[in-house]
A and B are shown apart, each in its own frame.
Chain A
Amino acid sequence: MNSINDNIAVAELRNLIKSAILKLDLHGAQGVGILGSLVRGDFTDKSDIDIFVVVENKQEETDSFWKRKMREGLKSFGRDTTVLVYTLKGLKEINNWYVLRLASEGILIYDKANVQELFKKIIIAAKDAGLREIKRGDSRVWSINRWLKKGETFEVRVW
């Protein structure tokens, strides 16, 4: 567990990272934020900086464009930077389990398209489908939290 001083140091680092991101040219992004250990509070000397970028559409170069931009913009922090790029369509469709993680854990720094509101809708959709966040070891995961018989399905959808 992190000490109070560690928590303060992580909070300060988080603010510095936020400032660094907001200094970048974010033209083309619908939303930018942080996730992972930086927001969970278990950030250590070895942790990566995890960034997410939400875009309207993806071209072939979109992922590498944002990875380059974020890594360049945050290089002074001396950490590996992981950059996840999502489209608004992918988020609305909840195209994989990790969209739920992003919606519940991600902290938006820049929010042009009201992605925060979309995150709220995704969480509501997950709960309406019967999912809830549970502890698995040292992590939290979204789970149906009951046994499913073979072939039993459920759907999480933002209407």
Chain B
Amino acid sequence: MVNSEESKRWLNQAENCLISAQKTYDINEFRLSVQQGQSCIELSCKAIIAQFEEPKWTHAPGSQLYSIIEDFKNSEDLSVLESLRKLAAHANEVENWHAWSVYGKEDENGKWVSASDLCTTEIARKLLEMAKISFEIASTYLCVDD
């Protein structure tokens, strides 16, 4: 196993999800777009983690990336650390959409909202933008140009 190859594999999967998130957004399939957007962000975060260590088996890898950054914060440029922190924050912020985009969730009135009703245009647009930023951060850090 070579760490850079592991990272690249995760990143390729993230890119695939980003393409799907965009395509499904363009045809108004917002639930699918949210699902793919969350996956893209999760996988982009794991691509960075895999450079250093074994990614934990979780849909919220942001905490692990935060820990790595915190352990070695004096070893890297502040601007790089700042962008990685942003990626970690995105990964934690969208974690719940992994389940919500499949099963839906209970709203504040105690009513169960289906995934397709929950995943609105606005939510899909927000996750798509976050996915683009997350993938860009991971690609830049891992220096993947192809």
A contacts, CB < 8 Å to B: 93-101, 131, 134, 136-137, 139, 141-148, 150-151, 153-157
Inter-subunit contact B2/A148 (CB<8 Å): no
Taking CB atoms, residues of chain A closer than 8 Å to B142 are 150
Which residues of chain B in 18-76 are interfacial with respect to chain A, using CB atoms and an 8 Å cutoff?
A: 50-57, 63-64, 67, 71-72, 75-76
Tell me which of B3, B9, B56 contacts A153 (CB under 8 A).
B3
B contacts, CB < 8 Å to A: 1-4, 6, 9, 50-57, 63-64, 67, 71-72, 75-76, 141-143
Inter-subunit contact B1/A97 (CB<8 Å): yes
Q: A101-B54, A148-B52 are in contact. Are A155 and B64 (CB under 8 A)?
A: no
Taking CB atoms, residues of chain B closer than 8 Å to A151 are 4, 143
Inter-subunit contact B1/A157 (CB<8 Å): yes
Inter-subunit contact A93/B53 (CB<8 Å): no
Supplied contacts A144-B52, A151-B143, A154-B2, 10 more A-B pairs, CB within 8 Å: A96-B9, A97-B53, A131-B53, A145-B52, A147-B72, A150-B143, A151-B4, A153-B2, A154-B3, A155-B2
Tell me which of B6, B71, B75 contacts A97 (CB under 8 A).
B6
Taking CB atoms, residues of chain B closer than 8 Å to A137 are 56, 63-64, 67
How far apart sit A17 and B28, CA to CA, in the bound complex (Å)? 48
How far apart sit A142 and B49, CA to CA, in the bound complex (Å)? 11
How far apart sit A134 and B55, CA to CA, in the bound complex (Å)? 12
Taking CB atoms, residues of chain A closer than 8 Å to B76 are 147
Taking CB atoms, residues of chain A closer than 8 Å to B63 are 137
Q: A141-B53, A144-B52, A144-B53 are in contact. Are A153 and B1 (CB under 8 A)?
A: no
Inter-subunit contact A141/B72 (CB<8 Å): no
Tell me which of A95, A150, A155 contacts B141 (CB under 8 A).
A150
Nearest B residue to A154 via CB reads B3
Nearest A residue to B63 via CB reads A137
Inter-subunit contact B56/A143 (CB<8 Å): no
How far apart sit A92 and B132, CA to CA, in the bound complex (Å)? 36
Inter-subunit contact B51/A141 (CB<8 Å): no
Taking CB atoms, residues of chain A closer than 8 Å to B52 are 143-145, 147-148
Inter-subunit contact A146/B53 (CB<8 Å): no
Inter-subunit contact B1/A99 (CB<8 Å): yes
Q: A137-B63, A146-B72, A147-B72 are in contact. Are A94 and B1 (CB under 8 A)?
A: yes
Nearest B residue to A95 via CB reads B1
How near does chain B come to A37, taking the closest CB pair, in angstroms? 11
Nearest B residue to A155 via CB reads B2
Taking CB atoms, residues of chain B closer than 8 Å to A139 are 56
Inter-subunit contact A142/B54 (CB<8 Å): yes
How near does chain A come to B130, taking the closest CB pair, in angstroms? 23
Inter-subunit contact B1/A155 (CB<8 Å): yes
How near does chain A come to B100, taking the closest CB pair, in angstroms? 20
How far apart sit A151 and B36, CA to CA, in the bound complex (Å)? 28
Q: List 18 A-B contacts (CB under 8 A).
A: A93-B1, A96-B6, A96-B9, A97-B50, A98-B57, A136-B56, A137-B67, A139-B56, A141-B54, A142-B53, A148-B3, A148-B51, A148-B52, A150-B142, A150-B143, A153-B2, A153-B3, A153-B4
